[in-house]
Amino acid sequence: MVAVIEQLKDHLNRAIIGQPDLTHELLVALIANGHVLLEGPPGIAKTTAAKALANAIDSRFQRIQFTPDLLPGDVTGSDIYQQETGEFSFIPGPIMNDIVLADEINRAPAKVQSALLEAMGENQVTVGNHSYALSPLFFVIATQNPIEQEGTYPLPEAQLDRFMLKINLGYPSAASELEVLRLVRQQDLHKASTPSTSQPLCKPSDILELQQKALSLYMSESVEQYIVQLVMATRKPELYLGDAGKGTNLIEFGASPRGTLALDRCARANALLNGRDFVTPDDVRQIALPVLRHRIITTFEAQAAGLSVDDLLKRLISHVPAL
């Protein structure tokens, strides 16, 4: 299993230049058996990252390009009347695959975004009177552009909460961008003369084994308590910030119990990726931002003070002691 992890890390870091946090957190989400939302401006390798991960696994991959005219049935599949038999038959949609890229998910209206709710929460889709089980590996990688750009629809809170991680991406450094420029040029030069020979690095069964391995890692009661206290701090920040809070109401809604479960799973996956068979408070702290940032709604006072969700979470993490 160590070899599989190292191969995946190496493959992703070669495919995605200058984004080590992205590659690490993608693997955390995969091993934690959750779904991931990538947010950032166009052209910074969000779709490339999803394709690179899918290519590394011998699995069924499907990309769904979300657009304003997309219908829920275009995602889940639908019952189609067969004239030859006089009966309806289910035609599977693109969601019935192992790894699904929901590209630019915020380009589609809420009713289409909600078509993913049951699939992401219960690993099944219901069409008509029948429910259809999804793959045990089922993994959604959704991408979106920032909501302040034109032609986008903010995801509902219920939909956001289904994502285990939300990864915010920025522009690469000048050195990384120069490396990308040279790499893409070389790929384009050799594309016509050298056919692609890339082979998957692992099988779905390897990923499922990693998921079970992560769940079996040792976690002490003190680390469990630390996870719970971090989530509690998002609901009652004034109890933890002390003078730093100034008595101001900063968070309107904190993380849900689903956030607690996600933090537990991701801390375990993080420990496994870091080569340990036990979980430490550092594993929790390292992954807390992408796990919690999309589960918190700040108040007007916090926004007026120029405090982002990440700013508040960093304050809370620094004030909640590890037991």
161 and 227 together in one domain: no
DSSP 54-89: HHHBSS-EEEEE--TT--HHHHHEEEEEETTTTEEE
Domain boundary residue, one of 113, 138, 169 = 169
Each residue's pLDDT tens digit, 236-262: 888 888 655 554 688 899 999 999 999
Each residue's pLDDT tens digit, 163-198: 999 999 888 889 888 988 888 888 777 775 555 557
Residue at 103 is within a domain = yes
What global pTM score does this model have? 0.90
Each residue's pLDDT tens digit, 74-107: 999 988 888 888 888 888 999 999 999 999 998 8
Structure confidence at residue 247 (pLDDT) = 46
Instruction: Spell out the alpha helix ranges (H) of the chain.
Output: 2-15, 20-31, 46-56, 72-76, 110-113, 117-122, 157-161, 174-191, 204-215, 221-235, 238-241, 257-273, 281-292, 300-304, 309-319
Q: What is the mean pLDDT of the chain?
A: 88
The CB-side HSE value for 246 (13 A sphere, CA atoms) comes to 6
Domain boundary residue, one of 150, 169, 188 = 169
Q: Structure tokens of 111? A: 């009713």
Q: Which domain holds residue 307?
A: 217-319
At 18, which CATH number?
3.40.50.300
Residue at 210 is within a domain = no
At 239, which CATH number?
1.10.8.80
160 and 224 together in one domain: no
Q: How far is CA 61 from CA 46, 120, 238, in A?
A: 16, 16, 45
Q: How many domains does the chain have?
A: 2
Domain boundary residue, one of 147, 169, 191 = 169
DSSP 272-308: HHTT-SB--HHHHHHHHHHHHGGG-EE-HHHHHTT--
Q: Identify which of 109, 97, 173 has the alpha carbon closest to the alpha carbon of residue 133.
A: 97
105 and 230 together in one domain: no
Structure confidence at residue 190 (pLDDT) = 73
Residue at 200 is within a domain = no
> Do residues 172 and 21 lie in contact, with contact meaning Cβ atoms separated by under 8 Å?
no
24 and 90 together in one domain: yes
Distance CA 102, CA 37 (A): 9
221 and 165 together in one domain: no
Residue at 37 is within a domain = yes
C-beta neighbour count of 137 within 10 angstroms: 19
151 and 262 together in one domain: no
pLDDT band at 276 (very low <50, low <70, confident <90, very high): very high
295 and 161 together in one domain: no
